[in-house]
Amino acid sequence: MSDNPPLFAAQEPIFPRRVSGFFRRLKWWIMAVTLGIYYLVPWIRWDRGPNLPDQAVLVDLASRRFYFFWIEIWPHEFYFVAGLLIMAGLGLFLFTSALGRVWCGYACPQTVWTDLFLLVERWIEGDRNARLRLWKAPWGFTKWRLRLTKWIVWLLIAVATGGAWVFYFADAPTLARALVSFEAPAVAYITIGILTATTFVFGGFMREQVCIYMCPWPRIQGAMMDEGTLTVGYRDWRGEPRGKGGAKRQAVAESVGGAQKVRYGKGAAKIDEMDKDHAAPRLSRTGEELGDCIDCMACVNVCPMGIDIREGQQMECITCALCIDACDEVMAKIGRPRGLIDYLALDDRPPVLPGEHAPVREMGSEALDEGAETGVPAPTAAARGDLSSDGTATASVAGAAAPAPNAADAPFITPHSRDWRPKPVWKHILRPRTMVYTFLWALIGFGLLFALFIRSDVELTVAPVRNPTFVTMSDGTIRNAYDIRLRNKHGEARDFQLSLSEAGGLALQLEGLDGTTVEVPADATMLQRVYVLAGPDDPAAEAERSEFRFWVEDTASGERAYRDTIFNGKESM
């Protein structure tokens, strides 16, 4: 037997722990909005007049139209769809270069439906520890009951997902009645079945697998990001070395900070009047100075991809920021500043190695004497937002649940006594790269809006009949034939009048009609055969080619459109 490892590693089940915080609430809001739009939009009604659909958003494949509220896109106007797709691509590039994979972490359908499936799973089976115990438990009545209940709810969500999709391609109330009575077209049931199966499998059983193996974006994102891109990361210069600390912290607090009252409760520190970050560095039981990371694994336990963000940027990370909420919660409990894990850039790193000590002062104040000690380790000092120029705390954490200061707000003094502070967010956003993407995105958007507002409700296309190029009548008159396609975008039938210009003595005839006016049905395209004649003595009859223009006018509104073409004379032979 071969000792070569398997090509694909076996899937390791991931059971994310429940977490609360700003980014988790933001994800709930985005999920509610996006799912609400997806499920409800097909049912919005929009009155377009007689003979037109009353659905606000509809992809009418039978009539080859796309309706979006007051906008109607015809097949020949596909450039609008192409422009929107280009804008979507540029928008993805823009957000990725500025904020990393925010699309993947917040608005991607795979992320949204996975969050919904996880919510159902947690509601039925319990939080992380309960699901782990259930996973390891043998199959019995309780396990079968919980699993079947969860799968049934997942299946109902998947059916609703596939059902909502088909409503975008037909009148929703009519199709819903047909589906229930089993009178809908077979393609509707097939589409619902396929989308139900993919939603059920991808959202329930292949959650992170889709992002890692099936989606190309994790492999493309590296080209879209640089060292100035804000993305979820770990401030190792502040958190390392990791450790939970020990009993010597109380003695160090008394020796360094004086008689500050620092009480330690079980699981979380309770702080009175003075902040223990200033009173004492975190020390291990052996006396080693520690960073802010207590190695609690909270960031790993909440990650839906099952990765450790402390190991650096990874392809699997979708920047959902749940690890930020988990870490901030832990920092608040132990009285440390928030932001150990945060949205940060690779170039936001202090020019001081972890563990080095340096004076701390506010920006603009007088520099402290070289070598002055504050008792605050450099990583902690750089993270503090509540230290004055003399190193004392100006604010304290009110309790275990109190929010801690932002880690990126305080200045930092390098060993060379130079101020250092992380770049503000706007400097990461407004960079040449993102501004170029924004300019291109806006340029295409304004171009589409301009084209949308200047387009006419009256259009025509002219196609000369080439076989034969002309016909000589019994009296010597030369006749050319043209197929003219008239397009009426109004909601009612309109009379269109045809005429010629720059044609000399050319005459116009409409096949099957008297006069030069034709009625075009509402919101429709009509093909009309038209004859143009040149008398025997007309120069156009003898010339090889003569240029002229077809005009069409809506007799009700006065809107006009034209197309240039040519008249073939005898010399064209």
Judged by average pLDDT, the poorest of 96-110, 201-215, 233-247 is 233-247
Residues 338-351, mean pLDDT to the nearest whole number: 83
Position 111 scores a pLDDT of 93
Position 329 scores a pLDDT of 92
Residues 312-334, mean pLDDT to the nearest whole number: 90
What is the tens place of the pLDDT at every residue in 421-448? 677 788 888 888 889 999 999 999 999 9
CA–CA gap between residue 98 and residue 430 (Å, rounded): 8
Which one has a higher pLDDT value, 374 or 340? 340
The helix or strand, by DSSP H or E, that contains position 58, with its residue range, turns out to be: strand 57-60
What is the tens place of the pLDDT at every residue in 19-40? 999 999 999 999 999 999 999 9
Q: Where are the beta strands (DSSP E) in 355-418?
A: 412-413
Q: Is the pLDDT of residue 506 over 50?
A: yes
Q: Name the residue among 293, 389, 398 with its Cα closest to residue 335.
A: 398
Position 473 scores a pLDDT of 87
Confidence of residue 420 (pLDDT cuts 50, 70, 90): low
Residue 551 DSSP class:
E
CA–CA gap between residue 11 and residue 326 (Å, rounded): 25
Residues 262-266, mean pLDDT to the nearest whole number: 33
Position 31 scores a pLDDT of 94
Residues 175-184, mean pLDDT to the nearest whole number: 91
Position 419 scores a pLDDT of 57
Judged by average pLDDT, the poorest of 89-98, 230-239, 385-394 is 385-394
The pair phi, psi for residue 338, each rounded to 5°, is -70, 170
Residue 34: C-alpha distances to residues 37, 38, 113, 318 (Å): 5, 6, 10, 18
Position 379 scores a pLDDT of 36
Written as six digits, the tokens of 332 are: 């608040």
Residues 76-105, mean pLDDT to the nearest whole number: 88
Residue 76: C-alpha distances to residues 70, 80, 283, 450, 460 (Å): 18, 10, 71, 17, 12
- To the nearest whole number, what is the mean pLDDT of the chain? 78
Rounded to the nearest 10 degrees, the angle between the axes of helix 432-454 and helix 79-99 is: 160
Residues 181-200, mean pLDDT to the nearest whole number: 93
Position 487 scores a pLDDT of 86
Q: Is the pLDDT of residue 227 over 70?
A: yes
Residues 73-95, mean pLDDT to the nearest whole number: 87
Position 281 scores a pLDDT of 61
Q: Is the pLDDT of residue 330 over 50?
A: yes
Position 374 scores a pLDDT of 31
Written as six digits, the tokens of 212 are: 């890692």
Q: Is the pLDDT of residue 360 over 50?
A: no
What is the tens place of the pLDDT at every residue in 374-403? 333 333 333 333 333 333 333 333 333 333
What whole-number percentage of the chain has pLDDT above 90? 31
Judged by average pLDDT, the poorest of 19-28, 129-138, 359-368, 503-512 is 359-368
Which one has a higher pLDDT value, 112 or 51? 112
Position 119 scores a pLDDT of 94
Position 251 scores a pLDDT of 53
Judged by average pLDDT, the poorest of 42-56, 59-73, 114-128, 360-374 is 360-374
Residues 6+ apart with CB under 8 A from 13: 135
Q: Is the pLDDT of residue 8 over 80?
A: no
Characterize 542-569 residue by residue with b for buried, 16 or more Cβ atoms within 10 angstroms of its Cβ, and e for exposed.
ebeebebebebbbeeeebebeeebebbb
**Which of 171-180, 209-218, 354-363 has the highest mean predicted lDDT (pLDDT)?**
171-180
Position 194 scores a pLDDT of 95
The helix or strand, by DSSP H or E, that contains position 194, with its residue range, turns out to be: helix 186-204
Task: Annotate 220-281 with three-state secondary structure.
Answer: HHHHHCCCCCCEEEECHHHHCCCCCCCCHHHHHHHHHHCCCCEEECCCCEEECCCCHHHHCC
Residue 475: C-alpha distances to residues 40, 534, 535 (Å): 67, 11, 9
What is the tens place of the pLDDT at every residue in 461-503? 899 988 888 888 888 888 999 999 988 887 778 889 888 886 5
Position 467 scores a pLDDT of 84
Confidence of residue 560 (pLDDT cuts 50, 70, 90): confident
Confidence of residue 543 (pLDDT cuts 50, 70, 90): confident
Confidence of residue 71 (pLDDT cuts 50, 70, 90): confident
